[in-house]
Structure formats: C-alpha cells, structure tokens
Amino acid sequence: MPGGPPLRLPAHRASSATLAGAYPFLVTPSCTTGVLVGTDALTEEPFCFDPWDLYAAGVLTNPNVLLAGVIGQGKSALAKTLALRSIAAGRHVYVPGDPKGEWGPVARAVGGVVVRLGPDSPTRLNPLDVSTTEPTVAHTRRLRLLAALAATALRRDLSAAEHTVLDTALSLATTSSTTATVTVPGVVDALDGPRPEPDGQDLAHGLRRVVRGDLAGMFDGPSTHRLDADAPMLVLDLSALGADDEALELAMVCAAGWLDAALTTASADGGSARRWVIYDEAWRLLRSVPLIRRLQSQWKLSRAYGIANLMVLHRLSDLDAVGAAGSEARALAEGLLADCSTRIVYRQEADQLTATASALGLTRPERDVLAGLPRGVGLWKMPGRSHLVRHHLHADELAIVDTDAAMRGTPHRPQEVA
Ligand SMILES: Nc1ncnc2c1ncn2[C@@H]1O[C@H](COP(=O)(O)OP(=O)(O)OP(=O)(O)O)[C@@H](O)[C@H]1O
Ligand SMILES: [Mg+2]
C-alpha cells in the first residue's frame, strides 16, 4: 500500500486443491450443464455432468469417460445413475456386455430392453450383420470382424496367408448363402470345404468355438433381435457365461460387431439421440488385443455417431496388463486412456497411487486424497479442472442399483419402476 508500513507476513502458498476449499468462489463452477451427479465435496455446490455439452463448450476434447476404483466403492452405482438420469434428459444408453447381470433392473426401470445371451436363451445375434448394402464395404467389415474373432480365439495375430484364406472363405460363404444373411457357420463350412486349405485349419478351429463350443447358439445364426432405435436403453446380459474370460472376450467381439451394425442402422434411420455406451467391468476385456483394437476404432468413431463411451476399471494398471511396455497392445490400451477426456478416480490402493498420479497427471493433494476416499466419493479430473464429488443416490435409485443384497443375505429384489 503506498505510504503504508511494509507487510511482513510471509506469503501463504497452497495448492489450488487446498485453496479451492478456502476460496470456493475461485473454483470453476461445478454445475453449469448436464445431469445432477451429487455435490462438490469441497464447496458443497451441486455437481452436474454431460459430456456432450462440455465437449460442445470446449471443456472436453472428447466425450469419453474412464472410471476407476477398488471394488465396492460405487463405480457401477455411479454409472447406473448417470444412465438413469441421462435417459431422463433424452439420452440413450447401451451396455454392450453385462458380465455380472446387474444392469437388467436399470434397463427395465426405464422401459429399456435386456437381451439375455446364453446357452439356455433362444436369442441369437449375428455378428456378421452389416448396416450397408454396398457389397465391398460389407465384405470388408465382415472380414475384419472374423479376423478379430479368430485372433481372439487363437490368442495370436493371423498370418498373411490366413487372412487370404479367410477372405476367400467369406466370399464363398457370401455367394453360396441362399439368403442375404452370411453367418459364422457358413464361413466355417467354407473353410472346411471339399479341399480345405492347410492355412485355414487353425482358423476353422478358432471360429468353430462360436459354432459348437460354449458359445453355441448365441452368435451362429441370423439375428433374432433387431435394435429398436427408440428404446432408451439396451443391455446385453452376458452373465450366463460365468467367469470364463475367454468366452466373454469372444462374446464381446461378436456383440460389438452386431452393435456396430445396429447403431449405424439406428443412426441412419433417424435415431439421433446421443448415446452412452457403457463398459462396466471393462478390466475383464482388456486382455484381448483384437478386442482393444475394435474398441479403439469404435471410440474413434464415437464423435461421428454422438456416442460417449464409459469404461469402468479397478485401477489404471489394468491397462498395463494387456502387454509389455512398448508393445502394440500396450500402446493401444494407452490410446484408450488418452481418448478419455474425463477421468473419475474412486479409492485406490496405496501401491497404485504413484502410477495413478503419473498416468493422470494428478497434483500431490489430489494423489494423497485418493487413498482415503469413502464409498461414493471420487475425484473428477477434466482438462484444466478437477472436482471432488460426493455422488448422491435417491432411495428409489438405490433400490435399482443395489449390488450388496448378497452381502446382507437378502434376496436381490430391485424395485422396478414401470
Ligand atoms: N453414493 C452412494 N451412496 C450410497 N450407497 C452407495 C453409493 N454408491 C454405491 N453405493 C452402494 O454400494 C454398493 C456397491 O456399489 P457398486 O456395486 O456400485 O460398487 P462397484 O465399485 O461397482 O464394485 P465392483 O468393483 O465390485 O463392481 C451398492 O450396493 C450401492 O448401493
Ligand atoms: Mg461394479
């Protein structure tokens, strides 16, 4: 102050995370747009989120979201309420694989559709469905799907010779099909043909898993189900597959193929709603390189189709499990993380803090807060802003998202809203 005595107090320094608590008016407003999630744990202001609006406002560079946290912290509860509340705001939600069978009550609560796939279910989805009538494009898409399916089943990349054999077999299956529908059994028959190619033997073995193995009856015929573009929610319930990760990966490759075609057809039919595509338990899928490759190409298209992907993991190192540092697989997994502009981190184990902080560029206070987060509280990290958010559940929502019934010894009877 001119003329006044010099101020001898040392300057007070603190991180913006700490100062945000003392000076809430300096904090980025936490409810500018979107559906209500809960409250900002530092300012007690309401916190809202909508990836499309934030993307349009230039806050997010893409609409995709990563959600990580140790078990039982409320990740699925958050994903489910985001789904429920977004549907109320006119969005649609797809869950392309529900390995625990916990999303059915959510879909039924909003008048959505649950497609149950399993050995005892009459439902079939044809992964070779395509949305185009242009033969060359259809052929390329089917070939890509078949190659991913065979590579997943064989747990290795296909050789150049195998690609050629697969290409020929697909052409044969397409021309010899009496209907316009090409199916995986048709391609296996073509591979087995009167003069089978030696390079096609492994391929036939791999693809046969879908026809005769534990996935028989699910993806080996014309689709019995058409995607209703107006349904607010679609869940593919894969819980009948149990704990077999390999079967789940194969089923997800097939389901992703069907969903791709169904989504593009729905968009072409005028279904213009913006859609969440939610991969709960995504850590179980991240061991399959072909699947990650498919996920990534799907994510690249997300903006073109108005899709926001939400991927649920336990920890960031789930992404490392896919391959050694520097490998193609690892680069693909890191690409998925880079394509998530919003990262929500729930409680992490102490041994994960350093890796999480460096992968997400967390500040020291942000890092330190992660180990002690209670259930339902998460750090929301977006470019240039972060919020500590307490997720609030309404009693009616709690009845739908509850996954603790077995722990309490009470039967799981979700309240179903008509
Ligand atoms: N914000 C919250 N307020 C109150 N209860 C909550 C909240 N979030 C979650 N719960 C309850 O905690 C239980 C576990 O939550 P949830 O199933 O979402 O955990 P999760 O992180 O998905 O666990 P997992 O890793 O095992 O899938 C649920 O029964 C849910 O009702
Ligand atoms: Mg969960």
- 405 versus 368: the higher-pLDDT residue is 368
Token code pair at residue 383: 């470019």
Token code pair at residue 78: 């958050």
The rounded distance, in Å, linking the Cα atoms of 274 and 270 is 12
- 24 versus 75: the higher-pLDDT residue is 75
Q: Using a 6 Å cutoff on CB, does residue 403 contact ligand 1?
A: yes
Q: Give the residue, out of 36, 393, 410, with the most ligand 1 atoms within 8 A of its beta carbon, to mutate for a pocket test.
A: 393
Asked whether the beta carbons of 183 and 128 are under 8 A apart, the reply is: yes
* CA 71 to ligand 2 centroid distance, Å: 7
- What would the pLDDT profile of 332-342 be if each residue is shown by its tens digit? 888 888 999 99
Q: Which amino acid would we find at residue 176? A: S
Q: Using a 6 Å cutoff on CB, does residue 401 contact ligand 1?
A: yes
Q: How far is CA 109 from CA 76, 102, 233, 274, in A?
A: 16, 12, 10, 20
pLDDT value at 2 more than 60: no
Q: Using a 6 Å cutoff on CB, does residue 393 contact ligand 1?
A: yes
For β-strands 46-49 and 65-68, DSSP reports them as unpaired
The rounded distance, in Å, linking the Cα atoms of 139 and 127 is 13
pLDDT of residue 413: 45
- What would the pLDDT profile of 222-254 be if each residue is shown by its tens digit? 989 877 778 899 999 999 988 888 888 888 888
245-268 helix and 201-211 helix, angle to the nearest 10 degrees? 80
Asked whether the beta carbons of 264 and 304 are under 8 A apart, the reply is: no
Q: What mean pLDDT do residues 154-174 have?
A: 94
149 burial via Cβ count (<10 Å: 0-12, 13-18, 19+): buried
pLDDT value at 309 more than 80: yes
- 313 versus 29: the higher-pLDDT residue is 313
Percentage, residues of the chain above pLDDT 70:
90
All domains of the chain in start order, with CATH:
16-91+277-408 (3.40.50.300), 107-232+252-273 (no CATH)
pLDDT value at 38 more than 70: yes
pLDDT of residue 172: 93
Query: Which atom of ligand 1 is closest in space to residue 70's alpha carbon?
Result: 25
Q: Collect contacts of 106-109 with beta carbons under 8 A, ≥24 apart.
A: 106/80, 106/233, 106/235, 106/400, 106/401, 107/233, 107/234, 107/235, 108/416, 109/84, 109/400, 109/414, 109/416, 109/417
Q: Using a 6 Å cutoff on CB, does residue 77 contact ligand 1?
A: yes
Q: Nearest ligand to the C-alpha of residue 378?
A: 1
Q: Where is mean pLDDT largest: 65-79, 201-215, 273-287, 354-368?
A: 65-79
pLDDT value at 107 more than 90: yes
Q: Using a 6 Å cutoff on CB, does residue 257 contact ligand 1?
A: no
Q: Give the residue, out of 73, 82, 311, with the most ligand 1 atoms within 8 A of its beta carbon, to mutate for a pocket test.
A: 73
* CA 238 to ligand 2 centroid distance, Å: 15
pLDDT of residue 402: 85
Q: What mean pLDDT do residues 187-199 have?
A: 88
213 burial via Cβ count (<10 Å: 0-12, 13-18, 19+): middle
* CA 120 to ligand 1 centroid distance, Å: 30
Q: What are phi and psi of 43, to 5 degrees?
A: -105, -10
Please list, in sequence order, all residues whose beta carbon lies within 8 angstroms of the beta carbon of residue 411, skipping any fewer than 6 positions away. Answer: 405
Q: Give the residue, out of 403, 408, 413, with the most ligand 1 atoms within 8 A of its beta carbon, to mutate for a pocket test.
A: 403
pLDDT of residue 417: 37
Q: What mean pLDDT do residues 131-149 have?
A: 90
Helices (H) and strands (E) in the chain, counts: 15, 11
Token code pair at residue 177: 């099909």
* CA 398 to ligand 1 centroid distance, Å: 9
pLDDT of residue 36: 95
Q: What mean pLDDT do residues 264-282 have?
A: 77
What would the DSSP string read from start to end of 161-206? HHHHHHHHHHHHHHHH-SSS---HHHHHHHHHSSS--GGGHHHHHH
The rounded distance, in Å, linking the Cα atoms of 69 and 127 is 32
Give the residue among 376, 412, 372, 416 at the shortest CA–CA distance from 393: 376
pLDDT of residue 412: 46
Q: What mean pLDDT do residues 182-187 have?
A: 94
Q: Using a 6 Å cutoff on CB, does residue 98 contact ligand 1?
A: no
pLDDT value at 207 more than 90: yes
Query: Which atom of ligand 1 is closest in space to residue 69's alpha carbon?
Result: 21
Q: Using a 6 Å cutoff on CB, does residue 402 contact ligand 1?
A: yes
Token code pair at residue 270: 């005028």
Percentage, residues of the chain above pLDDT 90:
46
- 17 versus 199: the higher-pLDDT residue is 199
Give the residue among 391, 373, 396 at the shortest CA–CA distance from 48: 391
Query: Which atom of ligand 1 is closest in space to residue 392's alpha carbon?
Result: 1
Asked whether the beta carbons of 218 and 77 are under 8 A apart, the reply is: no
pLDDT interval class at 281 (50, 70, 90): confident
Q: What mean pLDDT do residues 295-305 have?
A: 80
